[in-house]
Structure 1
């Protein structure tokens, strides 16, 4: 009788240990996914800020009161700088 109870307890302990291991492994996988998603979120937030800055710069150029040729030239120059900055950011992200 006591022997049967001990066997049941041992079997239950093995099941619990097995489930604990599986849960710990799942936890590690989820932690890795969480870290990866956090990193992606941070990158996306930086990209959004970058695009907001691009829009602000474009608005400044569009609202600047000068002759159209100067405005177009300034906009092209700023767009060129933005593209160069984008390339640098992409290079640094790698």
Structure 2
């Protein structure tokens, strides 16, 4: 039985953890564990940038400043779902 899975639909992403589905939209801050999720997103962003990752902002809204475009990319629904999963999955448990 699969305990964790992330799926992507039009405009939202969801993650199933122990038979409970958590749904996220871009820039979503409504989840009860939002503080943990945002902390994890910041941690991932720092680690990825230090490893050389550069966000592709070419498809972000054209009427935004570059910094805002980068923020848009970092708060896609799938990144929020992933951050939530990393917060709730016990260390050492395989992530699929």
Q: TM-score range by the shorter chain?
A: under 0.3
Q: Return the structure number with greater helix share.
A: 1
**TM-score (norm. length: structure 2):** 0.25
Highest RCO, 1 vs 2 (Cα 8 Å, sep ≥ 6): 2
Q: Return the structure number with greater strand share.
A: 2
**TM-score (norm. length: structure 1):** 0.26
Which is higher, the Rg of structure 1 or of structure 2?
Answer: 1
